[in-house]
Structure 1
Amino acid sequence: MPETLQVEIIKAEATDAAAIALWRDWTTTNPSLQSPYFRWDYTDIAARVCPGAAVAVFRRGGRIVGFFPFQKRGGSVQPLGAPMNDYHGVIAAEDEIITLEEVAHLLKARRLNVPGWIGAGETGQARETVQVVMPDSGFDAWYAERRSTFGKYFKDKERARRSLENELGPVRVEHGLRDPALLDHLIDLKAAQYRRSGLHDIFACGWTRDLLHALMETPAPDFGASMAAMYAGEKLVAVEFSLHAGGHHHFWFPVYEPSLSRCSPGILLSMDTMRLAAADGFRVFDFGFEGESYKKYFVNARQTVREAVVMRPGLAQVLGDAAVGVLDRTGTRGEALRASLRRRWSTIEACEASSVGRLRGAAVAVRSAVHKAAARKRTPARVAHV
C-alpha cells in the first residue's frame, strides 16, 4: 500500500537548509522544472513581497517528497506571485507524482486557480507555451534556419531595422541592466497599456511592482532578473524585463514606443536579446503562452501546461456550474467569454489582497465589459459584396 500523502503549511523563511537543498536538486534534475519560476530563489524572494505567501511541504512516511509555493486570497489558493507567475506545479523528483487535485484537496482550498500548471492532473484544459531552443552552433545558425523558413517575415524585420536607423540614428542594445529607474519607467508604460486596453492594471496594487524590483535587486549565482533596452540614436524605443536561471531565459514584460510600431522595435529587441544572451550561455528562450502572431516565426519548441480551476464541492461549485451552463447555451462564443471572464477575475483576485480591492477591480471590469459590448452593438455589420 502506498504511503499516505500529508502536507504541512509553513512560511518560506521557515524552510530549513536540508529542504532547500532538496528543492535545488529537484529543479536542476527534473526536466519539467527548468523554468526560473520553480527555483528556490524565486520563492525566497517572492514570499517576502507577496501577501498571503506560504509553502506547502508534502511528505510520505515523514519524508519530504515535494513543495508547492502559493498565496492565499480569502479561501482561494493561487501559485505564488500570481497573476505574474507563468509556470507552477509541485517541486518534486521526476518520478514523484502529486496531482493537481491532490494539492487542492490537501490545501483545503475553496478554489485553486492555476493558469499554467506543469505536472499531473485531469482538471481543466491544455494550453501551449512556446520556446526557442538554440542549436549548439548558436544564434547565427538558428537565425539562418528561421530566415530560410520564413524569409519574407525576417527580411521585413531587417528592413524595419534599417528604417529605424535612418529615422533616428544607429540602433544599439544593452542587456543585463538592473537600473531601478528604468524598471519604474517600464512598469509605468505597461500599466498605461493595461488601462488603454481596458484590462486590470496589475501594478496598481503595489506589491507586484515591488516583486519585480526585488527579483532584479537580488541576483543569485544561477538566478536573477534583468532588462534589455534598445536605443535608436538617443531615443529609448523598447525595453523588456526578463527572468533567468541556468540556461533558461524567460521573456516577461516587454514595452515599446507605440509611435514606432511600424518598425517593430519590440520584436527587434527580442532578437537582439537572444543573440546577446545566447553568447552568455543561455539556450532556451521562453515566450510564454502562444497567441501573438509574431511568435510562430520564432519558436521551435512547445510545452503543454494546464489551465484549471479546482473547486471544493458545495454551494460555490453549484453556483459556478449554473453560471457555466448559461454561458454554454451561447455556443462557441460563450465558451470563449467564459474563459475570458475567468482569467480576468483570476487576475483581479490575485492582485488585490483585500476584499475591497477585489470588489473595486470587479466593478471596473464590469464597466469595461459593458462599454465594449455597447461599442460592438453600435458598429454596423459589414456587408459582403460579390
Structure 2
Amino acid sequence: MDVSVIRPRELGDTELTAWRKMQMDLPHLANPFLSAGYSLAVDHVIDGARVAVLRDGSDIVGFFPFEMHGRTTAGAIGGWLSLGQGLVHVPGLKLDARRLLQDCGLAAWEFGTLVGDQPWFAPYATKRLESAVMDLSGGFDGFTGDLKAKGSKVVKQTRYKERKLGRDIGEVSFAFDVRDESSLALVRAWKSDQYRAMGRADRFAKPWVTELVERLHQTHDEHFAGSLSMVYADGRPVAGHFGLRSDHTLVTWFPVYDPEFAKYSPGLILHLHMAEEAAALGVQQIDMGPSIGWRYKQELQTRSHEVSEGVVRRPSAAGAAHWLRHEPVARARDMILNNKTLYGMADRTMRRIGEWRSRKRRGMLGVAALPAGGEVSETAAAFSFLV
C-alpha cells in the first residue's frame, strides 16, 4: 500500500469524489466530521491539518485526516472540536495501525471520539462511551413513537412548555437553516457565557475556533453543510444551535439557549423542532455525542452507538516520550470520569469557580447583568474534559 501525506487543500476532484463515495458506501462513516469538507475548513484556519491518502495500486482505498501536534505526534483533525474521528475507507480494507503511523511519519496519534467499525484502532482504545442518537429513520412520528414506547414524557412536557412560552412571551417560531451572521454571533456569545458560568474553558476564546465556525456556516452543499437553527418567541431569539450536517446525519455541536427563558426548556423545544425538520429533509439521525453528564441527551435519545478514545503509539523513542507526557494525566482523568462522586465534585467545583468569576467581573465593572468572564482557573482548565 502506498501512503502519501498532503494538506487537505491539495485534494483534487478525483480524491474528493472517492472520499464521498466511501462515506456513501459505509453509513457508519456518514458523520459530517469525517467529511472532506470539515478537513478542508480546518486546513484554512490552522497550519497542522494533514490527510494521508492510501492507495492500493491505482485505486484510492482510504483517507486518514489528522492534525500535527509536534514533529511526530498528531491527533484527530480539529482536535477536541471533532465529534467524529477515524479513517474513511473502502469496504473490507485491511491495514496495521502502527504501520500506517510509520508511513505517515508519526510516532503517536490520539483520538477522542473514534467512530465504530475501526478495527485497526480498536485495540488502542482506553475508554468507550455511548453517543446518544435521535433515530429519525422512521420519520419524526417514528422517533416520537420510540420515545413514548420507552415511557418517556419528554415530548408531551416540552410541547406544554412551548405553548406556555407562547402565551407568556409571544408566538413561538422556528427556523432550521439560518444564514445571517448576527444569529451565529449571538449563539457564540451565549455559548461563551455558558462555558464560563460552568467553569469550563471557553472554546471561542481561541480565534481559530471562531474562524472555523464562521467558515463552516458559509459552507452549504447537498453532501456537507454548517447548520444553524433558531427558536424565537415573539420574534426574540431564545435558543439556537450550530452543528454540521451530511445528507444522512446531523451532529449537534453548539446547542445553547438564553438562560432568561430556562423555565420553558428552550433547549428541548429547539431539539424537537430540529428533529422534525431534519426528518422531513431525509436526515436519518441526529447524533448528540457522548451522553455522560447530560440529562437532556439521555431524555431525547432513542438509541446509541459506541465511540472511543485512546492513543496509538509506535514502539519508538518518540512514542515512549509521548507516553511519559500524557499517561499520568490520562489516568487521573479516567479515575474522575469513572467515579460518580469525584465527577460530581469536579463539576460542582468548576461551576462554583464560574459563579465566583461572574460575580467578581460584575463587581469590577459595576454592571449587574454582565455575563461571566475572565480566564478559567487552572483547576477548571484541568477538568475541561468534562464538557
**TM-score higher than 0.5:** yes
SS of match in other structure, 2:89: coil
2:328 is the counterpart of 1:315: no
TM-score (norm 1): 0.79
Out of 113, 135, 142, the residue aligned to residue 116 of structure 1 is 113
2:27 is the counterpart of 1:25: no
State the 1:28 CA deviation: 0.8
Q: Is the 8 A contact 1:50 1:80 kept in 2?
A: no
Q: CA RMSD in A?
A: 3.2
Out of 124, 127, 130, the residue aligned to residue 129 of structure 2 is 127
Question: Which amino acid is the alignment partner of residue 319 of structure 2?
Answer: P
**Number of aligned residues:** 345
List aligned pairs for 1:224-263, cutoff 5 A: 224-263=225-264
2:286 is the counterpart of 1:276: no
Query: Please, which runs of 5 or more residues in structure 1 have no aligned partner?
Result: 341-362, 373-386
Paired residue for 1:177? Answer: 178
Output one character per residue of 1:305-357: Cα deviation in whole Å (capped at 9) or x when no partner.
220123453234245456667889999659977xx9xxxxxxxxxxxxxxxxx
Out of 72, 79, 83, the residue aligned to residue 82 of structure 1 is 79
Question: Distance between the aligned counterparts of 1:203 and 1:293, measured in 2?
Answer: 24
- Shift in alpha-carbon separation, 1:322–1:142, aligned structure 2, 3 A: closer
Question: Which stretch of the first structure deviates more once superposed, 21-30 or 154-163?
Answer: 154-163
Q: Is the 8 A contact 2:200 2:381 kept in 1?
A: no
State the identity as a percent: 24
SS of match in other structure, 2:203: coil
SS of match in other structure, 1:177: coil
Question: Distance between the aligned counterparts of 2:336 and 2:152, measured in 1?
Answer: 42
Q: Is the 8 A contact 1:31 1:94 kept in 2?
A: no
- Shift in alpha-carbon separation, 1:249–1:165, aligned structure 2, 3 A: same
Query: Please, which runs of 5 or more residues in structure 2 have no aligned partner?
Result: 347-374
Q: Is the 8 A contact 1:170 1:233 kept in 2?
A: yes
Out of 96, 108, 130, the residue aligned to residue 93 of structure 2 is 96
Question: Distance between the aligned counterparts of 1:370 and 1:300, measured in 2?
Answer: 33
Question: Distance between the aligned counterparts of 2:378 and 2:96, measured in 1?
Answer: 34
State the 1:158 CA deviation: 2.5
SS of match in other structure, 2:238: strand
Question: Which amino acid is the alignment partner of residue 298 of structure 1?
Answer: L
Question: Which amino acid is the alignment partner of residue 290 of structure 1?
Answer: S
State the 1:256 CA deviation: 0.3
Question: Distance between the aligned counterparts of 2:383 and 2:247, measured in 1?
Answer: 45
Output one character per residue of 1:125-179: Cα deviation in whole Å (capped at 9) or x when no partner.
222212122244x212422442353354333223211221222011111111111
Point out 4+ residue stretches in structure 1 off by more than 6 angstroms.
Answer: 323-331, 334-337, 369-372
Question: Distance between the aligned counterparts of 1:184 and 1:325, measured in 2?
Answer: 37
TM-score (norm 2): 0.79
- Shift in alpha-carbon separation, 1:335–1:232, aligned structure 2, 3 A: closer
SS of match in other structure, 2:222: coil
- Shift in alpha-carbon separation, 1:324–1:67, aligned structure 2, 3 A: closer
Out of 278, 281, 298, the residue aligned to residue 296 of structure 1 is 298
- Shift in alpha-carbon separation, 1:274–1:10, aligned structure 2, 3 A: same
Question: Distance between the aligned counterparts of 1:165 and 1:331, measured in 2?
Answer: 39
Paired residue for 2:366? Answer: none
- Shift in alpha-carbon separation, 1:142–1:110, aligned structure 2, 3 A: same
